[in-house]
Structure 1
């Protein structure tokens, strides 16, 4: 493990366009955070695209801050 504490990782969050701006994503995030609140996690982490400014604004509005970590990927 590369972290000293446990973190819940949110890997995908998508809301169909016709249901956006209705609180669906906020409710999903709250539900995920509520599920882990007594599971000994010290926080939450997630990834989003550098160009996905809408998602970035959403996460920041919900208390998330950008970290300095790098993600690497190799496609096969």
Structure 2
């Protein structure tokens, strides 16, 4: 008999590192990328421009938090 999915999840949960955290600009990165990609698809424009838009937003957020950052642009 196969274990129930709840038993599998319960066992796996014991191995999760609870000290892990998102980076300080994760929300900006997630939101800006989602918004830029959605707009690019809706407008039928180049997705690489959406990536650049998201990168600019993340770099700005990092600089606003005094996090050193350089880009290859």
Higher RCO, 1 vs 2 (CA within 8 Å, ≥6 residues apart): 1
TM-score by length of 1: 0.33
State the structure with more CA Rg: 2
Structure with bigger strand share is 1
TM-score, normalisation: structure 2: 0.34
